[in-house]
Structure 1
Amino acid sequence: MQRARVGGVDLAFESLGDPAAPTVLLVMGLGLSMEWWRDDLCADLVDAGFHVVRFDNRDVGGSTQLAGPGISAWGFVRRRARPVYTLADMADDAAGLVAHLDPRGAHVVGVSLGALVAQEVAIRHPGLTRSLTSVMGRPGDGRSGKVAWRMVPEFLRPPAADPVEGLVRSFTRIGSVGRTAVDDEDVRATLRRATARDTTDGSGGGRQLAACVAERDRTADLRAVRCPTLVLHGLRDRVIQPSGGRATAAAVPGAELVEVKGMGHDLARWVWPTLVDGIVRTAARAG
């Protein structure tokens, strides 16, 4: 595990593969550390010819923990938040890490909240963004990609007595058709590993959620993005519904939209080949 000082925060990161190869920066979702980009998936990307960088966003894992309130349950339901920091701040963190590691820029891949951050990276730091892959994202227009009402309890549910099995059940509810026992064991092993390394008190997810709820409408700025872009979205996603992916792809000129039947709000192993192939294809468009 390595660390880099970027702006006012320290970011924990891991570099995999040949640093001379094109860099892929992996940006994880809400409250999750870099381990959730699973080792086998990262190995697939290295085998595809990339230098892979995964990192902890601010407020999770081994990166700097911020202070201040997150968001109340009522604020989440009403979509009102006063964030301690913004998605743009998180994007500047990510871009700063790219500049530190590979001034040529990176193929930026984000999932869920990470997709929103990745979009901001492409908007704010075009010189460091060789291509963009937005997975389970939305453009922040306030209309597309809303959470389905029946999924709202997932954000308000009290901690389970057994956090590991509670998270397995959560992924079962929000995740893809065809999740297997291997996927469930991935959750157990990853959570234990992430918990063992975590230096925060666990409050960062609330501040990240506040930043997500307070997101700006990026639609107009996405129309100015010129790097090759892939938008990948599951048709079973009820946390960020498929309209979010469609609106994102419609906003970015020349974006490729891939909608995956049966995919929910997770990265089940059966989705990995589609994701890796998409990243490879999109990177090739960048030349």
Structure 2
Amino acid sequence: MRTIKTSSGISISYQDSGELAAPVIILIMGLGAQLTVWPDELYYGLVNNGFRVIRFDNRDTGLSSKLEQLGNPNLFKIWLSTRLPVASHIPYTLDDMANDVIELMAALKIKKAHLVGASMGGMIAQLIAAQNKKKVLSLTSIMSSSTKPKLSASSLKLFLRLAKHRPLRANRDSAIHYNIKLNQLIGSPAYPQDEQRLRKQATLGVDRAHNPQGFNRQLAAIAASDCRQHLMPKIKAPTLVIHGSLDPVMPVAAGKQTAQQIRKAKLKIVKGMGHDFPPALMAKMTKWISKHVKKAEQKREQKKLKKKP
């Protein structure tokens, strides 16, 4: 793994694969998830399709900076402060996390890139595409939303089920057990993963890095950040929205709404998919993203030719 340091002193750990001269795809991961949650089948599949692909740990995850000095936010106060004039401590926002991506690009001398964001990563990618149009060649938003997550009956049920498995003690075995249960609950009903595979993934993740307080600070960033609905029409980059029909975290309606708000966005609803990356779908997802990025590259080349005298 390599590391860059942002102007604010935050270290960002990343992996950079593929030919340096190839079109760049930057993968932005979701809430509390390390770069390793991007499946190798997808990551190296994109590299083998002729792209330079970068995946990284967001701040407060994996091997990037753990911002313990910012404390453990009061999520209820933050939620309340968005509705009432109540003061609350917000460690950072999604805009700060979007700026980390911009600084990563600058450090690697990447002027323009294709962004692929999953869940919270999709929210970050949307912000960058709307506010830094010249830096974004295409956008792929996976199982994400342009609004703040809403507390529905199904999401409340999910949170209550997860609460039963919350670790009582902060130790390795408890963290691994919770990770397995989490992925079973948010996973794809049509593409279930066996427990042995989930245990292997959970063990690798916990042993690589474990930062539950970082999860809370990222969740606070989502809660404190404004909805992006007013920004969606500003996105000019070719956009692909991928969403599971059975996503228990971000309902399929969120994906449909995102696609409707972005001009000429293409929507792909994946039947039976939840809020994860099922191994059985990775070859298809690699193909969808590759095709989308290649089309955007073709349009870019056509524009360059038109500008030539």
Query: What TM-score do you get using the length of structure 1 for normalisation?
Result: 0.89
C-alpha separation in 2, matches of 1:260 and 1:36? 19
Q: How many residues align?
A: 285
Q: Which one-letter code corresponds to 1:179 in the other structure?
A: Y
C-alpha separation in 2, matches of 1:25 and 1:154? 33
C-alpha separation in 2, matches of 1:166 and 1:267? 18
Q: Which ranges in structure 2 are unaligned for 5 or more consecutive residues?
A: 83-87, 298-309
Of 173, 194, 213 in structure 1, the residue corresponding to residue 185 of structure 2 is 173
C-alpha separation in 2, matches of 1:147 and 1:90? 28
- What do the CA deviations read for 1:54-98 (whole angstroms, capped 9, x no partner)? 100001111112232444464588796742110011011012112
Displacement of 1:117 in angstroms is 0.9
User: Do structure 1's residue 109 and structure 2's residue 120 form an aligned pair?
Assistant: no
Of 63, 68, 71 in structure 1, the residue corresponding to residue 70 of structure 2 is 68
What is the DSSP-based 3-state SS (H/G/I as helix, E as strand, rest coil) of the residue aligned with 1:162?
helix
Q: Residue 146 of structure 1 contacts residue 241 of structure 1 at CA under 8 Å; is this kept in 2?
A: no
Q: Tell me: CA distance 1:181–1:149, structure 2 relative to 1, closer, same or farther (3 Å).
A: closer
What is the DSSP-based 3-state SS (H/G/I as helix, E as strand, rest coil) of the residue aligned with 1:148?
helix
What is the DSSP-based 3-state SS (H/G/I as helix, E as strand, rest coil) of the residue aligned with 2:60?
coil
Of 133, 136, 159 in structure 1, the residue corresponding to residue 167 of structure 2 is 159
C-alpha separation in 1, matches of 2:236 and 2:192? 38
Q: Which one-letter code corresponds to 1:34 in the other structure?
A: L
User: Do structure 1's residue 39 and structure 2's residue 40 form an aligned pair?
Assistant: yes
Matches within 5 A, 1:203-214: 203-214=213-224
Task: Provide the residue aligned with 2:301 in structure 1.
Answer: none
What is the DSSP-based 3-state SS (H/G/I as helix, E as strand, rest coil) of the residue aligned with 1:223?
helix
What is the DSSP-based 3-state SS (H/G/I as helix, E as strand, rest coil) of the residue aligned with 1:19?
coil
User: Do structure 1's residue 2 and structure 2's residue 13 form an aligned pair?
Assistant: no
What is the DSSP-based 3-state SS (H/G/I as helix, E as strand, rest coil) of the residue aligned with 1:59?
coil
Q: Tell me: CA distance 1:147–1:231, structure 2 relative to 1, closer, same or farther (3 Å).
A: farther
Percent identity among equivalent residues? 31
Task: Provide the residue aligned with 1:189 in structure 2.
Answer: 200
C-alpha separation in 2, matches of 1:17 and 1:84? 35
Q: Residue 18 of structure 1 contacts residue 50 of structure 1 at CA under 8 Å; is this kept in 2?
A: yes
Decide which structure has the larger Cα Rg and report it.
2
Task: Provide the residue aligned with 1:257 in structure 2.
Answer: 267
C-alpha separation in 1, matches of 2:269 and 2:142? 10
C-alpha separation in 2, matches of 1:144 and 1:72? 18
Q: Which ranges in structure 1 are unaligned for 5 or more consecutive residues?
A: none
Q: Which one-letter code corresponds to 2:238 in the other structure?
A: P
Please, which moves more after superposition, 121-130 or 159-168? Answer: 159-168
C-alpha separation in 2, matches of 1:146 and 1:113? 21
Displacement of 1:23 in angstroms is 1.1
Matches within 5 A, 1:212-223: 212-223=222-233
Displacement of 1:166 in angstroms is 2.9
C-alpha separation in 2, matches of 1:145 and 1:273? 32
Task: Provide the residue aligned with 1:28 in structure 2.
Answer: 29
Displacement of 1:215 in angstroms is 2.5
Of 224, 239, 242 in structure 2, the residue corresponding to residue 232 of structure 1 is 242
Q: Residue 142 of structure 2 contacts residue 241 of structure 2 at CA under 8 Å; is this kept in 1?
A: yes
C-alpha separation in 1, matches of 2:221 and 2:154? 16
Task: Provide the residue aligned with 1:84 in structure 2.
Answer: 91
- What do the CA deviations read for 1:139-189 (whole angstroms, capped 9, x no partner)? 12666999722122256452276332332222121110233456x444333
Q: Residue 138 of structure 1 contacts residue 144 of structure 1 at CA under 8 Å; is this kept in 2?
A: no
Of 88, 106, 109 in structure 2, the residue corresponding to residue 99 of structure 1 is 106
What is the DSSP-based 3-state SS (H/G/I as helix, E as strand, rest coil) of the residue aligned with 1:172?
helix
Q: Which one-letter code corresponds to 2:167 in the other structure?
A: P
What is the DSSP-based 3-state SS (H/G/I as helix, E as strand, rest coil) of the residue aligned with 2:31?
coil
Q: Tell me: CA distance 1:201–1:240, structure 2 relative to 1, closer, same or farther (3 Å).
A: closer
Kindly report the root-mean-square deviation, in angstroms, between the aligned alpha carbons of the 2 structures: 2.5
Task: Provide the residue aligned with 2:305 in structure 1.
Answer: none
User: Do structure 1's residue 284 and structure 2's residue 294 form an aligned pair?
Assistant: yes
What is the DSSP-based 3-state SS (H/G/I as helix, E as strand, rest coil) of the residue aligned with 2:137?
strand
- What do the CA deviations read for 1:15-37 (whole angstroms, capped 9, x no partner)? 11212211111111111111111
Displacement of 1:5 in angstroms is 1.3
Q: Residue 239 of structure 2 contacts residue 264 of structure 2 at CA under 8 Å; is this kept in 1?
A: yes
Q: Which one-letter code corresponds to 2:204 in the other structure?
A: R
